[in-house]
A and B are shown apart, each in its own frame.
Chain A
Amino acid sequence: MLNTYQYPEFPYIQSQEQKSGKPVRHPVVVVGAGPIGLTAALDCAARGQPVVVLDDGHTVSIGSRGVCYAKRPLEIWDRLGCAEPMVDKGISWNLGKVYFKDKLAYKFNLLPEDDHKMPAMINLQQYYLEEFLVECCAKKSDLIDLRWQHKVISLKQHDDYVSLSVETPDGIFTMECEWLIACDGANSDVRNMVNGEFTGQFFQDRFLIADVVMKADFPTERWFWFDPPFHKNQSVLLHRQADDVWRIDFQLGWDADPVEEKKPENVIPRIKAMLGDDKEFELEWVSIYQFACRRIDNFRYGRVLFAGDAAHQVSPFGARGANTGVQDTDNLIWKLKLVLDGKAPARLLDTYDEERAYAADDNLLQSTRSTDFITPKSKSSRYFRDATLELAEDYDFARPLVNSGRLSSPTPYVESSLNTPDETHFEGAMTPGANCADAPIVYRGEETWFLNCLGEGFIILVFGSAPNISSLRAGGVEASVLTVGETLWDMKGILAERYDGGQEAVYLLRPDQHVAARWRSFDGEKIKAALARATCQTSSSKVQE
């Protein structure tokens, strides 16, 4: 097979603590250097928190796996200073086409809203994504200790720490940490070690994924076929990645033989049937997969916190795996930092489970629905599927029913116990629990983006007048005042439009850029109470409704 990509080989280095044989107690250990573990480490570093990352391998994702990365994770990576190479290398696309049999059933345009820094979606091979994240970690090597070929083989939870047995080429040694973040993927060893339940739905259908290298003049669009003439009764997806690599995804049915189907002599004819005999291509990576939609019963097991695929597994339709995993750590790390610093009680971490399990359930629902449309489970659901597709060719009404994968968008934490409910009416999408919309602004005389000037802490965003103070506190937690028209200028009026700030408005924004509370005037006591609530510093933030 051809390689457009050179896999980096990261060096194994024996740690001082293994050499000396004296266990060191680290504040935070992350297990797994996939996209989620690396992002967790970068978020720790952004908050000044030292962190050790252990990974049993010594390179990036073998084969591309994840392809599409959506706006919200890109915004998170931008906060962590590593989105730029991703967006530069990635391919942006907006147009999707859905075919049924030999006809175009309909086209959709992602129609990204203007005036956001990050694009709606990029396509990028997962190995590039991970490489860029590793490079970012290397720039923070004073805080991030990334250890390759370190496999966690067992763990024990104590009242105030976790001890780990770790295997390296030099043997087995013991490490300790106050908090462990398990980002060790769908087959998480750590999950087994704590006897975590991982339940949901397992799908029988097998899929063949081929990444092929070809110079094609196809437009940069997502093409999805239901029951095409070149692959009867099944579905096919074609998607472009960087470096002239194209992702082709063939549904094979439940009875396909994974070993046979993976052989190039069986893969190549399928691709030729699709592309025509004259198209020249080479295989870069081939894999067969089956998928599941399931999640762990609790994202927190004492001092062990689960994130990414270790916590939830979704079908690839709708590109949710890494996209949602990055939002896990975005939610977790600021909370963990406050707990580590003694500024918030440990039960703040239970709200990590509350909020991210809620989001995981939303993602699982979305991806199960797509899967049921793409691979109907009964004869009659197949009739409905085909009826929808036939109608979509001619009738507008049927098009929203076609589900070839809904693209990932963040789940607002509308029911979170950290939110302070609205007292008055606001227009727009910035309800408590929602993630903050971006907007072009001028900050300290420079044209930039709203999300880029929020920093790493709580923010009190003020439209209108505020008392002359720079911050407020609840216990040890501080929130900085950011007043529109003082340091920050809303030159185009887009910020005010998105936050319903045409009249007086005050928002409390969390460190993960989600709205905690909002009011129509600046009331210091109310803001402090909301800040206390958003950090679990009230004695009963759950009961107090």
Chain B
Amino acid sequence: MKLNVKANIPRPDDFYQQLIVMQKDLSDDEVQLANAKLILILANHIGDMDVLSEAMQVAMPK
């Protein structure tokens, strides 16, 4: 697997808090849109189709 599934975020609590705060004052619609943007932005940053496909696999319902 090319996808890094080991812990890689230096300050996990900071990141998680920021993610939640980002959505705090948004309507449901706005949250959905912002999340979609976030996925697209990150996907572009990764830019590796194999990694992206593996991530999609991992994200699927169990």
Contacts from A to B (Cβ < 8 Å): 379-380, 383-384, 386-388, 390-391, 395, 397-398, 401
Contact = CB atoms under 8 A, between A and B. Distances in A.
B33 A390 contact: yes
Given A380-B32, A380-B36, A395-B41, 20 more contacts: A379-B32, A383-B35, A383-B36, A384-B40, A386-B33, A386-B36, A387-B33, A387-B36, A387-B37, A387-B39, A387-B40, A388-B40, A390-B33, A390-B37, A391-B37, A391-B41, A397-B41, A397-B44, A398-B44, A401-B40
Nearest to A384: B36
Contacts of B32: 379-380, 383
A387 B33 CA distance: 6
A391 B33 contact: no
Contacts of B40: 384, 387-388, 391, 398, 401
Contacts of A383: 32-33, 35-36
A88 B4 CA distance: 57
Nearest to A380: B32
A452 to B, nearest CB: 40
Contacts of A398: 40, 44
A169 B57 CA distance: 63
B20 to A, nearest CB: 19
Contacts of B44: 397-398
A383 B37 CA distance: 9
Nearest to A386: B33
Nearest to B32: A383
A536 B25 CA distance: 68
Nearest to A387: B36
24 contacts: A379-B32, A380-B32, A380-B36, A383-B32, A383-B33, A383-B35, A383-B36, A384-B39, A384-B40, A387-B33, A387-B36, A387-B37, A387-B39, A387-B40, A388-B40, A390-B33, A390-B37, A391-B37, A391-B40, A391-B41, A395-B41, A397-B41, A397-B44, A398-B44
Contacts of B37: 387, 390-391
Nearest to B36: A387
A383 B30 CA distance: 9
Contacts of A384: 36, 39-40
B61 to A, nearest CB: 14
B29 to A, nearest CB: 8
Interface in B10-62: 32-33, 35-37, 39-41, 44
A398 B33 CA distance: 14
B49 to A, nearest CB: 14
Nearest to A400: B44
A390 B32 CA distance: 13
Contacts of A390: 33, 37
Most buried by B among A379, A386, A387: A387
A391 B44 CA distance: 12
Contacts of B33: 383, 386-387, 390
A397 B43 CA distance: 10
B14 to A, nearest CB: 25
Q: Which A-B residue pairs are the 10 nearest by beta carbons?
A: A387-B36, A387-B37, A383-B36, A397-B44, A383-B32, A384-B36, A383-B33, A387-B33, A387-B40, A391-B37
Contacts of A397: 41, 44
A395 B37 CA distance: 11
Nearest to B41: A391
A388 B40 CA distance: 8
A380 B36 CA distance: 8
Contacts of A391: 37, 40-41
Contacts of A386: 33, 36
Nearest to B45: A397
B25 to A, nearest CB: 18
A384 B35 CA distance: 9
B38 to A, nearest CB: 9
A398 B39 CA distance: 12
Most buried by A among B33, B36, B39, B44: B36
Nearest to A396: B44
A388 B32 CA distance: 13
Nearest to B34: A387
A330 to B, nearest CB: 33
B2 to A, nearest CB: 21
Most buried by B among A380, A383, A395: A383
Contacts of A380: 32, 36
A380 B41 CA distance: 17
B60 to A, nearest CB: 14
Nearest to A379: B32
Contacts of A388: 40
A148 to B, nearest CB: 52
